[in-house]
Amino acid sequence: MGTITTDDGTEIFYKDWGDGQPVVFSHGWPLNGDAWDNQLRLVAESGYRAVAHDRRGHGRSSQPWNGNHMDTYADDLSQLIETLDLRDAVLVGHSTGGGEVARYIGRHGTGRVAKAVLLGAVPPLMLKTDANPEGLPIDAFDAIRDGVTGDRSQFYWDLAEPFYGFNRPGAKGSDGVRRAFWMWSMQVGLKGAYECIEQFSEQDFTEDLKRIDVPTFIAHGDDDQIVPIVASAQKSAQLVKDATLKVYSGAPHGLVGDYEKEFNADLLNFLRS
């Protein structure tokens, strides 16, 4: 574990486990790199170098007033990759982290990248527009803003239910998973959390996706209540040149239970392919 300091003085926390081909994980909002711990351990024990960072404003990274923008998130990721001199890397992004991976490639190319994984990822665009009628209305994101600026502790606690699909009939919930989600969420700074909402909802990643020229595994649950598949994975798979789309039947947004086990097996298979 360590930190790097970006050009604007922001400290980015990261963990670095194992040896071998690097696999770099970008987390979703409003979490941090710990959300990837199961996958970090899995790939490190399988002969890879597992790296995960906390996005600026989140977790153990600095909480700067400025720079809470997708371009800056991507540039922070670039500085981490370059500082650690990672090459032939596999970039794995969940949710907002998938946008970060796409924007990184859009801005910095694939010179250091061998493959990419987009899991429950926000690209190409979450917001409903005339050109993107499958997206979610702005009211949905305004409600998230209200939750974060109001009683954010209760909001994050409640958000865990649809995030992991615990609100579905017959679903087996986990108090432990819910508490972990709440704990990670409460570590994000208020300004960073608030400003990131616009970044994951209103950023258009279409041109970034078109610039991805490495094998890409796009994975998404068809019962994702946070990032609906019709506005994300189904469109992304058509925009990325060398993409493989896998739809997990009945799976929620967050990795949990049998869904996590299946994704873990698919991730290893993709790394080895």
Residues marked as catalytic: 95, 224, 253
In sequence order, the 6+-apart residues with CB closer than 8 A to the CB of 138 are 127, 128
Q: Is 240 left (phi over 0), alpha (psi -120 to 50) or beta?
A: beta
Alpha helices in the chain (DSSP H): 37-45, 70-83, 96-108, 138-149, 152-163, 175-186, 190-202, 206-210, 233-239, 257-272
CA distance 117 to 91: 6
Residue 212 · residue 105 · CB < 8 Å: yes
CA distance 1 to 271: 23
Q: Any idea what DSSP says for residue 84?
A: T
Structure-token pair, residue 79? 């500085």
